[in-house]
Amino acid sequence: MSVPVSATETGAATSAPQRVSPIFIAIYVLALFGIWMSINLPASVTLALRIDELDPEGKATSYSMAAGIGTLTALLANPLFGRLSDRTRSRFGRRRPWIVVGLSGTIAGAAVIGFSNSMPLLLLGWIMMQAFVNAAIAASLAIVADRIPEKQQGFVGALSGMAASAAILVGVFFVQWFPSNVLAQFGLPVAVAVVFCGLLLVLLRDDKPARGDISPFGFREFLGSFYVNPRKSPDFSAFLVAMFLVTCAWGVVSTYTVYLLQDRIAVPEEELPSVITLAYVIPGILAVIFAPIAGWLNDRTGRRKLVLAATAVLMAAGTIQIAFAEGIVPFLIGVCIVSGIAGGMLYGGYIGLAVATMNDPNTAARDLGVTNIAFTLPFSVMPFIAPLLLRVGGGAPNYPLLLSVGAALTLLGIVPLFFIRSTR
């Protein structure tokens, strides 16, 4: 997934980044908060509600298809826009143009979904949102490698994890405030991203274009950007496998929260918005608390593998709790463990472990993008295999089996950690 890139090609500075100010960190984290909310809120809540309006009978299958196609789109778009950003020679720099392009396309995709009256049109809008928001994500994540020194990367990574969690926490209130206004549910999160990213663009006014000789960008090189050579980067390869597996249970829980509440817990329709809010607000608060704790533990103890292993155990336990929950309270306890405690620990700790296992500083921006792929890939794979598992046994959807498989894969993610030698 990662191909070495020279400093001449990427335009990276040869000197280490200088320490950044608290104001820069705050605005950067707020920009990520806006970007994540613009895509994570639809992925977790509002897309499911919109599909329920358009296809109430086949909503589970339709949502699985939309979630899978959307996430696969993101997986392709992220490295593509990342490479394009690395090579951009614009006088406006190489990161700022793609943040602008990404947000513009995200706005267009949200509008298509809001005005859609059929599943094909909704899918088109969702593909647009996933593709273009990843242009903004790729360019924004590269700022960590461009601007943030190593001693601040753990702290900024933890705050970035808090931003992703807080994005859902704040975003669900848009659903509560505008329960029947689809345009507001999809549009307001994007508007927040535009405001905060606008402030970031001002701080990045000295953003430099790519310099030096840049080799032609062909199809072969694009495919090479997806590949990490296990022989050259054994630790980073093992980390990517661990990240993918550990996130599988979360991918199931996050994707099917709304339908689990409707179909398995049988929450009455009039109570559903309030319960959905609780299912995201309480875990969101917990994630905001546990993300910096995980980041601090990583920096303080250096036991990065142990933190991720503990995260996997907690995430699997919470998923099993959800699988056999028969009421709202047991369900919420499980969600709090998965998306709150374990999710916060994962958000706060994975960047530190990623950086510790990378073996080439010149590929840091691309490797962070590949790390994001490993993080999000289960949100694509699990929805694709979910219909097969849900049909086992006939009758009602077999959610306990789906959740149990997700928990088992998450526990399996501990195994690759034993093959990482460069950090504890």
In this structure, is residue 301 part of a structural domain? yes
For residue 93, the enclosing domain spans: 20-205
- The lowest-confidence range among 65-74, 108-117, 155-164, 198-207 is 155-164
Residue 1 has pLDDT above 60, yes or no: no
Confidence of residue 88 (pLDDT cuts 50, 70, 90): confident
For the chain, how are helix, strand and coil distributed in percent, rounded to 5? Answer: 80, 0, 20
The pLDDT of residue 364 is above 90: no
Task: Report d(CA 379, CA 373) in Å as an integer.
Answer: 10
CA–CA distance, 36 with 43 (Å, rounded to integer): 10
The pLDDT of residue 4: 32
At which of 150, 173, 205 does a domain end? 205
Confidence of residue 399 (pLDDT cuts 50, 70, 90): very high
378 and 251 assigned to the same domain: yes
- Nearest CA to 142 out of 368, 397, 343 is that of 368
In this structure, of 107-111, 145-149, 349-353, 412-416, the range with the lowest mean pLDDT score is 145-149
pLDDT at 165: 74
Tally of structural domains, the chain? 2
**What's the token pair of residue 211?**
């310099």
**Burial of 328 (C-beta count, 10 Å sphere; 0-12/13-18/19+):** middle
Is 167 in the same domain as 240?
no
Q: Which of 170, 205, 240 is the last residue of a domain?
A: 205
CB 167 within 8 Å of CB 279: no
Q: Does a structural domain hold residue 222?
A: no
Same domain, 193 and 233: no
CA dihedral 258, 262, 268, 270 (to 10 degrees): 30
Given pLDDT bands bounded at 50, 70 and 90, which one contains residue 236?
Answer: very high
Q: What is the pLDDT of residue 211?
A: 66
| Residues 152 and 280 placed together within one structural domain of the fold | no
- The answer to the question of residue 1 being in a domain is no
The dihedral built from the CA positions of residue 335, 256, 136 and 312, taken in this order, carries a sign that is positive
Whether residues 188 and 273 share a domain: the answer is no
Give the whole-angstrom CA distance, residue 77 versus residue 328: 38
Considering only residues 145 and 257, tell me which one the structure prediction assigns the higher pLDDT: 257
Share of the chain above pLDDT 90, in %: 37
Structure pTM? 0.74
Counting residues of the chain whose pLDDT is more than 70, the rounded percentage is 91
Q: What is the mean pLDDT of residues 217-222?
A: 71
Whether 336 maps to a domain, the answer reads: yes
What is residue 11's predicted lDDT score, i.e. its pLDDT? Answer: 43
Q: How confident is the model at residue 363 (pLDDT cuts 50, 70, 90)?
A: low
**What would the pLDDT profile of 303-339 be if each residue is shown by its tens digit?**
889 999 999 999 999 999 999 998 999 999 999 999 9
Mean pLDDT, all residues of the chain: 85
Domain boundary residue, one of 142, 174, 205: 205
User: Which of these ranges, 31-35, 138-142, 252-256, has the smallest mean pLDDT?
Assistant: 138-142
Q: How far apart are CA 119 and CA 57, in angstroms?
A: 13
Exposure string of 213-222, with b = 16+ CB inside 10 Å and e = fewer, is ebeeeeeeee
Q: What is the per-residue pLDDT across 38-55, written as a single tens digit (0 to 9) for each? A: 998 888 788 888 898 888
Tell which residue, 55, 71, 181, has the closest CA to residue 122.
55
In a domain, 327, yes or no: yes
Q: 119 lies in a domain? A: yes
pLDDT higher than 60, residue 5:
no
Residues 306 and 394 occupy one common structural domain: yes
In a domain, 370, yes or no: yes
Residues 235 and 95 in one domain: no
pLDDT bracket for residue 6 (50, 70, 90):
very low
Residues 281 and 414 in one domain: yes
**Average pLDDT score over residue span 71-85:** 83
The Cβ of residue 11 has, within 10 Å, a number of other Cβ atoms equal to 19
194 and 278 housed in the same domain: no
Asked if residue 5 is part of any domain, the answer here is no
CATH number of residue 303's parent domain: 1.20.1250.20
Rounded Cα gap, residues 391 and 374, in angstroms? 27
Phi, psi of 413 (to 5 degrees): -65, -15
pLDDT in tens, 182-203: 778 888 899 999 999 999 999 9
Query: Mean pLDDT throughout 155-179?
Result: 79
CA distance 251 to 385: 12
Q: Is 151 exposed, middle or buried (0-12, 13-18, 19+ CB in 10 A)?
A: exposed
Confidence (pLDDT) at 29: 93
- Token pair 């990623």 in the structure block, residue: 354
Residues 394 and 265 in one domain: yes
Q: CA-CA distance, 133 to 354, in Å (whole number)?
A: 22
**Res 34: pLDDT:** 95
Band of the pLDDT at 31, cuts 50, 70, 90? very high
User: Do 276 and 332 belong together in one domain?
Assistant: yes
Q: What is the pLDDT of residue 292?
A: 83
Residues 137 and 266 in one domain: no
